[in-house]
A and B are shown apart, each in its own frame.
Chain A
């Protein structure tokens, strides 16, 4: 029987290798990877975002006269599959650089791949600090504000609250753990008088919200830090509302102001949570207006944060390619280090020291308006203001 096996295998392998997207040799190709099938609620707007960017770039004459082509792959939420995709994009499609990824572990896997194969990688979304710090490398850059930055933004507001007894609820994996750890550390630095009275670690995607809410209420905290998102957040909010957990308590919450997570809550949106997010409806800057108009015109839909990330990822990639004037990896790295560019949120810079962009986030409070969740009193926090000093970063990051 084995006879046939290897024939089939070879046939498939050859087939897989020869399948490619038609792109002309003079085009500049970018390889993009994301968890499209696992996390469609985030990645669909993200895809729309980068597609808009590609359209705009090519309409404006491409990159130094060459047409930009983005080849996109699904990773199914698995690091191993992401590497297969990365390999295909690099070896088979011959892309100039890799971009994308959502989950932290996938971001790290692709970043390690990039380091090994000496490929430029612009991480769009993964939040873990490790991408630019403890496991940072020469080839990897990141767009989105990291866990640390978002925590620092929230701490700034949270430390002004009178609350002294705090409880935390976070999904039981690296993102949740490090978000809580950084928040606790920064918070305790500013407010040594704070007590941490309870912590809950529901498994990601499987929160049993009733018991969790009840347990937190029993500890009787004055304030709660929440790191859950997506369906877990919905369950937590619903149980919390019904059981009165949030009544008379301050809540500080990561990411909850992003339309992806806020919109599903509708008339159950809790009021007054301090959150990071993206209030697209109240940002009144020319850069954002232009983006919003173009996005709405193309899709007849409003943007989510994913749209911004997708859009800016490709815009940043194009800016780096244009500045480098080449698809040579070292030249792209040289071009990317310290590059500044416009974004819907204003000008951003990719720092030379740790390859983190200074894209910021909005911090505001949740509120209900016509039965929908919105962010009010939102202010934009520049990423550069929430990163530690250079000396500290040097210590965090291994030498290239």
Chain B
């Protein structure tokens, strides 16, 4: 009986900058429909890890496989085409376009219409765009200029955009950073619900431990570039090493929401 490859398999991922190891031999895997949280203190290497997963950054050694297919060395746009959606720590959206147009761009790309010079883009996949916006609770904002949105709304928009290509895997770098507490819970609930319904694997980093412990099926903990713990929320919460790190920094309920640029 052959075992189907996991949705995401990460093996021995290593990256160093000028002799300093940002990420060292990190391995983990992720099943479809599973919600995995990647946590760790500032500078633990979470963002570096993330950037290697979606091709923003190339690992020195190690492999990333998506459903058994190697993605290492591929460009972000190619990895997206393999079914990986991404949201960013600091939102990246198309500021001069409307909310709907933001989603439409992703849909256009998904439909391989990027080099269609004569079609009418405002009419491309309007229904699908509306559905996605509705899904993230942005239905009433479709015609708002993206540049005017509140930060929490931008995060939700990013989620809608990330869902546009019917992804198998969502990579969410601090999906709730900068949002009000109530909004955080809502967004993560929504994400979890979508993920379970569509059997999408979700990997996210987060500083808000409430969010992490409430929504993650499993948690992996990074410290100084190495994986130090892995397990269910309860297991991780009970892990003395993890407690030491967080208590040492006094950050178990971290209010800060931005990592240093070197992370």
Are A and B direct contacts in the complex by CB distance below 8 Å? no
Interface residues of B (CB under 8 A from A): none
